[in-house]
Structure 1
């Protein structure tokens, strides 16, 4: 190849270092999915093309992971104009698509051990439409103003590489060292061993996909700056300046996913292998594999060209399907597809909350498709779960932009799909004016995702409360698994390695098939514990036929580091979700809360949730025996300061704990979490007068954690309900877990009273002291 396009390693490495700095400064979020080993094993990498930054991402990641240099094909137009830029492109491995020795050069580079990156769409597909009206892969060509098949050049290249490797192996087998040495000289390799090593590598095409989320079409300072300078930019240039800059500046996830390798030699039928061997015997130079110079008969050349075309198109179809299958589907994909599907069904108006439910059901459906690659927005319930209860926060960015662009409108609780959404947009405006269409087009080739949306449209009008509750319970399990996975990474080992808790911290929903009671029980564990703390009681309740839900308070059962990032309102929200889930299965609910779980239960009871029959509160943490609790707000403030002020670096964010139940409780207490207890108790004291449901209070006489008068303080403030108070003679705090004083039976007996209606709410002070103390 001519000197102009010789790859220059120092220039390549400098570019990688520069991008690393830019990535760090801008916080560019690039995530590689798939087997990283494919970066080393693959030789030809294929990607979709939506934005110009994609032309560098694969080079960057491949070099970072393997140290290999990459060659890339680019449109000839970018080589025109600035001479310095043209030379720079050549030095970092870019070759124009009209170079007369393009494919032979790439074959030679692959044999030398370099990678080749190709974008078989042949240009940026800004609208992401890759299916024609018949659902077949096809893309729009500006040049012909028509839809066409994708380019097969990558397949032709792969076939040539495979043929050349076969020729080398056959020459080695026959001892034709003269032929092998001629190739070594032609390719500029150091020795035969290098050539033979390359020839024995499997020729692998790696289809990949780069997905950007979210797409931000709002203005930015670069575009505004161009306007201030009175730069006359074309519509195309303006659009690209906005979109490309936003991808870098506006917190965009860039998911690069590697698909299943296509190994040519493993998928050839016998007759193709015969032709390959014939080519390998008769062709001598890399160029010969494209010109077919050296074949004996013209008619044979014609047949072989037909074979190459047939084989290449077959491989092309495989890798294009592989590219689009690897799209990382996100929440905006689903939402946009739903909107356009509603339009197709002539549904121009829908109740907004029903629409959010429809999106939610699509998420739950797509989670059942293991072949679909899901973005974090579809795997983390923290993002999408509230759609089930009519909260649109997860969709705010997409829907707000759609409203601004005149595509949709909200009116009196309804979502209106406007005529503008049906219009056809120009290629150079659609990414700004109608991202809904872009998202929907991008998801269209992912059949599992399309099926999930279609299924949701069929079910959203008829879904039952119980079905929805099961979906929401699945989300609670996913929340826990997500947090547990994240906070058990090696970077948290300095805290986690000292932890002794081994019991599962997952929430539990258990509805006996033949449950014979009209009341269910929501159980809420204590501080530093997990649902395992309530399991001895919940097992007995289920055995008695009571449906139960054992709440997992966020930050518990995962890692103390997780707990250090939570507020008490997070705990209350988890209780509320658990209550709503169980409500679908029963007519009444009793809350059973231990310690902190008891305080949360009382706060929740003050909201008067539907179906609440009563509450059981055990050892509520109103006053603590540890007098240092009064300094917790100060410690918390200093701890926060220590995060950024070196002078306070010695302040500990955790306090060591010696738990009664080491298999259930944390050994480290985050100072932040203690502060949340103080905040929670402040709210509790102000809410007690609003509680109207019957309550059972149980208190250890010599509790080592909370003072014996904690329940007495509650009794004085629970002025509007019927309270039963029981003292349990014990010097233990965890009387519920250990069933000290037969607490389990006493609680179950009380729940039976609630179920039968014996214990009722009242509107005046009315509590009674049980005359029997349950000894430990």
Structure 2
């Protein structure tokens, strides 16, 4: 049976059904692979009345109201196509009862305004339909979208602006009734709005109506086959192109690890766009408004010339407000790597550059990321703020970039040609609205980023910088990445689930990596690598001493250190060594020659770096390298770690003993809890030393305390035996402490100075063809 909407009213929200729907949504959200993140201040969500969103997929129309409910407990109304309400069925009744109104209801604006005045929120999608191509700016720079009905571009709907300013007019009328003591009118409005009291009516009138422009950004967007499409094809055939496209693209959003960033922009108050003419006329006709319908009839059925003139003024004001909130919606897109890559590709094509060198592509993107990080008003996806995700761009090994390129190749948009990427003609072809997400995702990404002019300008600038980029400038950015990495690591492991271990920690020293440059440099660099469980703070004082001698000093932070033992538990020896390599490359940009000094585990990593025979390294100092331990229990670490892995496999728990206590000489620097996993990784590193120690050909200084309480002295003897370079020396320090480098026990720093001086003398003494002239016999010196 057909049922037409009631011309005068609509169902109120069934709060019990709404609450059940929220619970169902939360359950579904946990089952899906889309990660939904709301970026908003409390004032935006709490004080906002009309929330506006861009529209890219069907299922996102159900998301905002549930987020708003979670944040505020407020119920939200929304607008849907009238076609959902033609039949009286389960779906139409459900929509009616959860606050959904048909777009063509004769009293849509008065009904929605009443909801806002009662404390409800309203969700509106002002584009008026799905904008699958993200094409929202025309060739003149004006906002418009493609209309599927007319086949032409049109302006965005101004209904949200009309609704907001109508509510403001009604609030002004309420305040006027209070000022003129028109209690009869106040009581009628209280009853009409179903409010508890006149005070409630006054409070509603005193609050400004806030429009909250918001943006929903999905990343990444994929067009490959998925389980949703496969399931539908299994039970039914004959899908239209439109249906297939939506199942492919939107199914991947739901089921293939997609980020959905919901970002709320600056609130807009509609009455701020009113000029003096509007205010003058409004005061003249204020008393004529008896109902909400009177206000929203100013254009369609004005009662006199003043109302007609005021209606025309309001129409212009609504258009101005519309343009303001559309600009804010698109300015709040969350920019990701695919936006940058797509914008760069389209710029190259537009400027008759059909290909780009791979190295130039990577470097340009990295430069652009670092520039954009300085513009805090641009909303960058977390992958462009977290170095784990973007720093590999500099070396061309970014997984996110590889994913983007793979999708582009599969779609026939780009291809490899030698050491370059070739842009294919399909990139410039026109595509139907229901094909473009499948055929040309690069155009979609480019369109989405286009409203933010700074993104394109920054990429153009980065492309110009690419070929002649100063290596020291890159090194400064890489060092910034190291500092950012620590911040992200601290944030990631500061959640309550890690409190059991974190709250026991006592390390309070600054664990940041450090880069120190002397006032009068000697042209030499020193790379410092701290030990296991410590941080760069362990060697900071030594670094400050070295910089006074004229050395440029880089203090590396090994991944997982200086944040939380849980962070260290998730790292491997390869991660530690990658930290060393990054520090080496930063220092290399400033110094053509350098020494590498490592303490304990850092000493083992320093020797590994030296074994790769980098010409910049002229000597390596390894202090208290752990081959053998005083505590024989360390030998059981591989077995214990294997037990933990077995427990992980058969249960959801962490393992029988994921951490063991560490009694440290320097509790303000070192972790108090040692992850068993990291000791296992250390054992693997030690085993690997047999492979790389024979490859070292440069001078090596081994320092060790004769009564080291942690690492057995015989480690130094074994290390000397395994080194094949004739340029090796063992210096024994009289000490019962492990931290001889940090504490400068027994003249440790002087011994290193002497070694480095001798290295420099030998470097000058060696002549071409006489490289076997060595000055360091394997003597043991007792201090």
TM range (shorter): over 0.9
Match for residue 407 of structure 1?
413
Does 2:210 match 1:201? no
Range 557-566 or range 35-44, more displaced? 35-44
Any unmatched runs of 5+ in structure 1?
A: none
Q: Secondary structure at the match of 1:329?
A: coil
Q: In the superposition, relative to structure 1, how do residues 266 and 3 fare at CA in structure 2: closer, same or farther (>3 Å)?
A: closer
The answer to whether the 8 A contact 1:723-1:766 is kept is no
Q: By how many angstroms is 1:279 displaced? A: 4.2
2:742 to 734, 737, 747: 737
SS of residue in 1 equivalent to 2:595: strand
2-side partners of 1:648 and 1:131: how far apart?
Answer: 52
In the alignment, the residues of structure 1 paired with residue 482 and residue 652 of structure 2 have an alpha-carbon distance, to the nearest angstrom, of 41
**What's the CA shift string for 1:606-631, capped at 9, x where partnerless?**
12224121100111111111100111
* 1:773 maps onto 2:772 in alignment: no
- For residue 160 of structure 1, the aligned residue among 150, 156, 166 is 166
In structure 1, what is the equivalent of residue 3 of structure 2? Answer: none
Greater mean alpha carbon deviation, residues 266-275 or residues 458-467: 266-275
Match of 1:13 among 19, 22, 36: 19
Please say if 1:65 is aligned against 2:71: yes
Alignment RMSD (CA, Å): 2.2
Question: 2:597 is matched with which residue: 584, 587, 592?
Answer: 592
- Assess if the C-alpha contact under 8 Å between 2:643 and 2:655 holds in 1: no
1:241 maps onto 2:247 in alignment: yes
1:281 matched residue in structure 2: 287
CA distance in 2, matches of 1:665, 1:147: 63
* CA–CA distance in structure 2, aligned partners of residues 293 and 537 of structure 1: 78
Matches within 5 A, 1:39-58: 39-58=45-64
Secondary structure in 2 matching 1:736: coil
Write the distance in 2 (CA, Å) between the matches of 1:749 and 1:419: 65
What is the aligned partner in structure 1 of residue 197 from structure 2?
191
Counterpart secondary structure, 2:412: coil
Q: Is the 8 A contact 1:719 1:766 kept in 2?
A: no
Give the corresponding residue for 1:347: 353
Instruction: Answer yes or no: is 1:583 the counterpart of 2:588.
Output: yes
Decide whether aligned partners of structure 1 residues 765 and 637 sit closer, same or farther in structure 2, where only a CA change above 3 A counts: farther
Cα distance in structure 2, aligned partners of 1:622 and 1:480: 29
C-alpha distance after superposition, 1:479-517 (max 9, x if no partner): 111112222233322211121111111111223354232
How do residues 517-536 of structure 1 correspond to structure 2 at under 5 angstroms?
Answer: 517=523, 519-536=524-541
Alignment partner for residue 371 of structure 1, among 371, 377, 381? 377
Query: Secondary structure of the equivalent of 2:292?
Result: coil
Q: In 1, Cα distance between the equivalents of 2:674 and 2:612? A: 29
Aligned partners of 2:236, 2:103: CA distance in 1, in Å?
Answer: 34
Aligned to 2:426, what secondary structure does the other structure show? helix
Whole-angstrom CA distance in 2 between matches of 1:712 and 1:338: 57
Contact 2:694 2:725 in 1 (8 A): yes
Paired position in structure 1 for 2:119: 113
**CA-CA distance at 1:693 after TM superposition:** 1.4
Q: Does 1:753 align with 2:758?
A: yes
Using structure 2 for the length normalisation, give the TM-score.
Answer: 0.95
Q: Is contact 2:648-2:655 (8 Å) kept?
A: no
Alignment of 1:642-657 (within 5 A): 642-643=647-648, 645=650, 651-657=656-662
- CA distance, structure 2, for counterparts of residue 272 and residue 513 of structure 1: 66
> TM-score, normalization: structure 1?
0.96
- Residue deviations 1:384-422, cap 9 Å, x none? 111111224221121111101110001222110011111
C-alpha distance in 2 between matches for 1:29 and 1:343: 34
The 8 Å contact of residues 33 and 258 in structure 2, kept in 1 or not, is answered as no
Q: Deviations over 1:200-244 (max 9, x none)?
A: 222111111111111011111222233333421211111111122
Local SS of the residue matching 1:659: coil
1:735 aligns to what SS in structure 2? coil
Structure 1 residue aligned with 2:429: 423
Between stretches 347-356 and 107-116, larger displacement belongs to 347-356
Deviations 1:528-570 (A, max 9, x none): 1111111111111111111111100011111111111111110
Cα contact 1:520–1:582 (8 A) shared by 2 = yes
- Structure 2 residue 505 is matched with structure 1 residue 496: no
The alignment partner of 2:110 has SS state of: helix
Give the Cα separation in 2 of the matches to 1:294 and 1:344. 47
The answer to whether the 8 A contact 2:299-2:308 is kept is no
Give the C-alpha shift of residue 149 in structure 1.
Answer: 1.7
Q: Are residues 229 and 643 of structure 1, via their aligned partners in 2, closer, same or farther at CA, if it must alter by over 3 Å?
A: closer
Distance verdict in 2 for CA 1:771–1:227, change over 3 Å: closer
Secondary structure (helix, strand or coil) at the match of 2:570 reads coil
Choose 88-97 or 185-194, whichever is displaced more.
185-194
Judged with a 3 Å threshold, the aligned counterparts in structure 2 of structure 1 residues 564 and 572 are, in CA distance, closer, same or farther, namely same
1:315–1:627 Cα change, 3 Å: same
What is the CA–CA distance in structure 1 between the aligned matches of 2:310 and 2:757, rounded to whole Å? 84
In structure 2, the partner of 1:723 is 728
Give the number of aligned pairs. Answer: 773
Distance 2:95 2:774 in 1: 83
Contact map agreement 2:344 2:456 (CA 8 A) in 1:
no
CA distance 1:498–1:159, shift in 2 (3 Å): same
Q: Give the whole-Å Cα distance in 2 for the aligned partners of 1:492 and 1:272.
A: 58
| Offset at residue 473 of structure 1 (A) | 1.3
CA contact (8 A) 2:285 2:306 kept: no
